Amino acid sequence: MPGPGKKPTALKVLAGNPGKKPLPEGEPNYGNADLMPPEWLTEGAKARWEPLARALQVNGLLNEANREVLAGYVTMVAEFARKVEQTGEADLKLMQQIRLVAREFGFTPSSQAGIATPGKKQADDGKGRFFKAG
């Protein structure tokens, strides 16, 4: 049974290369993707595109090769939301597909746990991320 997929080098760099293994050299460079969503996206998917595309681009993770994967992701999320609104029930198969793609992009809490964002410091005890002051 195959193990987890390889973590993108950009995510390794953001995490500070925790494994301290040499980073791959000669990876393909697909170039940064345009922030404009594909024309074929539904309105619901377009609403989800902008914040995610911007976050990925800022961290060097939005490129021409994964632009269509992001489009598929926001389409699935929009479809999931539509189904919940119409039926009041969650489509668990669709939710699992969403989770798998979200993990690839670093959108889930567990996939974000190892990512350090330069210039941002957490509270000394780490609780500031979870609890409001007051």
Q: From the first residue on, what is the mean pLDDT of each consecutive set of 10 residues in the chain (134 residues)?
A: 67 79 78 88 96 89 90 98 96 96 88 64 52 54
Q: What was the pLDDT predicted at 5? A: 67
Q: What was the pLDDT predicted at 85? A: 96
Q: Give the structural domain span for 59.
A: 34-108
Q: What was the pLDDT predicted at 42? A: 96
Q: What was the pLDDT predicted at 129? A: 54
Rounded distance between C-alpha atoms, residue 118 and residue 110, angstroms: 19
Within a domain: 95: yes
Within a domain: 25: no
Number of domains in the chain: 1
Within a domain: 21: no
H-helix or E-strand spanning residue 131: none
Of 65, 47, 66, the closest CA to residue 106 belongs to 66
Rounded distance between C-alpha atoms, residue 39 and residue 28, angstroms: 26
Within a domain: 75: yes
Q: What was the pLDDT predicted at 50? A: 94
Break the chain down into helix, strand, coil percent, rounded to 5: 50, 0, 50
Question: Which residues, other chains included, contact 42 with Cβ-Cβ below 8 Å and sequence gap of 6+?
Answer: 75, 78
Within a domain: 76: yes
Q: What was the pLDDT predicted at 130? A: 53
Q: What was the pLDDT predicted at 60? A: 80
Within a domain: 41: yes
Within a domain: 73: yes
